[in-house]
Structure 1
Amino acid sequence: MVYTLTSGNQSKFTSFTVQCFSENEDLQLPLFLTFLLVYVIILFGNTSVSTTISLSPKLHTPMYMFLGNLSFLDISYTSTTFPKLLHMVYTQQKTISFTGCITQLYFVMALACTECFLLTVMAYDRYVAICHPFLYNSLISLKHCARLVTVVWVIGFLYTIPQTLLTANMSFCSSHHIDHFYCDLIPLLKISCSDTSTIEVLTYVVGVTVVINTFVLTSVSYVFIIHTILNIHSSQGRQKAFSTCTSHLTCVTIFYGTMTCSYMRPTKSYNPGLDSFFALLYIALVPMLNPFIYTVRNKEFNGVLNRLVTKHFFFYAD
């Protein structure tokens, strides 16, 4: 690690070292292959969803536009951490530059906020579709959908700038070892010798205004959705209505559950092993499962996908 002397007893460093799950060399290849397989599944699954939606005019509807954005978001989210993780596990060169660390931190937080907002907008989409079906085309038109998606991405990437700037200006004079597999906020706060009270308060404010508020809005949407479904007289109608939102509800439960366990608690209660586990859940497991959760029982999507695969297969076969 390279250091440059500056004023006082502090030093300005150029890189952090990162904890990559295990120091055992016998586990190096199994870990690398496992993470590589997970990353390939995430890329293949989410790329298949977004490509199918893009190529089929039949799927150019608000619901599938949201799903396509979620797939792109999941690819971006995982790609922020996994390529670097794979490189470190394979080469055992467990360093990341200060600039790279802060950049990684920003994109992880920004994409997490964006996903919170996007999941809330998707819950609103299901609320209007089930509770106000006759108003759906006017309230959730493609034009309105495009505006909502744009706002979601812009707010998500603006919201975490203050935290990133405060973190970038902290001093790390006691330790430069991050006890995590990527540059996350809480591990960085743990090794800082600066006063972290301001950024901790800001983190809780962001947690309340983003995670809690979006979760509450999503929950309220589902209260109305469930109430409307229970008032449907036909059991077949109830089942059909509920099937349109079970995938989203499953995704929301997993995502918010792991996010809450990771971030909505004091810095002093940080547990490296437990936090790495929860981080893997929302960075790897959720993006890996989302394509299957949303498409396995979706007959319309699967029909389009089968036609596209058959069409291109026979085209290249000829």
Structure 2
Amino acid sequence: SQAWNALTVGAFTEKVDIIDTDFAGYAPIAPVGELSPRSRTSVVWDRQWPVKPEVVFEGGNLAHDGVLPGEPIDDLQILTTFYRPELRHFTTLGDTSAATAHAARMAGLILSARPELWPETVRALIVHSAEWTPAMRARIDACNGAKGEIQALVRRYGYGVPDLGRALLSTVNDLTLIVEDELQPFQREGGAAAKTRDMKLHRLPWPKEQLAALGAAQVELRVTLSYFIEPNPGERGWTRRHRYASHGLRFRVKSATETVDEFRARINQAARDEEEGAPAGGGEEWLLGTFRD
């Protein structure tokens, strides 16, 4: 389960400028804002496996002359301190090693600023603050809403490049609401099959007057559900939510015309249908949709 729980970090790059005259005629392999050349993806994985990487950080680029393989030249790498300062003060590194160092720094800064947060929340804030670069977003927009194509790109880029300021602070047009809570998702009575138990209803403190003042302007709602799954090494039952990968928690949003009672009834009916093996009905129109079986 730890491989599922761990935040997996990929690498992207904004380093495309080569000024070293020793490499005149060389060009960067990856365009600005794209995946770093050596970053791995989960594009070829089956649907039951998790989305990896979840986020990408700067990992540098490679240069090529059209003949030789890509080279990690200094102009396209990340500057860092050398481990033996008596020899030299600085060196460079790149790829997912550099990206992971950026991610660890961000997690440390979040915990330093908010030491009371749960580990699940720190992970959630990193992912929640991520945005796709213009290059990534252009590829996603080019899918014209085709869920399968969009999901393949998310298995390449994750949810984008995290931003520390967005993770910690609410800006003028960006509000983050954090809820840390516990629930028992399933119960078993006697020898019967496990059934759903708890559902938590969260009332969002909508700024109604401010939203109404926006008129027809487009606004974005982003929901990040973060929890650690329980290990189950003796079973490979990943296609059933009661087994690996643990609870399979999900969320739903009440529509504008539903009452709270109608919303509860809809969710309860959907849970009963799922337990009885009925196909899932239509739902909210999210950009990404359901990723895994």
Query: If the length of structure 1 is used for normalisation, what is the TM-score?
Result: 0.24
- Greater RCO, CA 8 A, separation 6+: 1
Larger strand fraction of residues: 2
The structure that is helix-richer by fraction is: 1
TM-score w.r.t. structure 2 length?
0.25
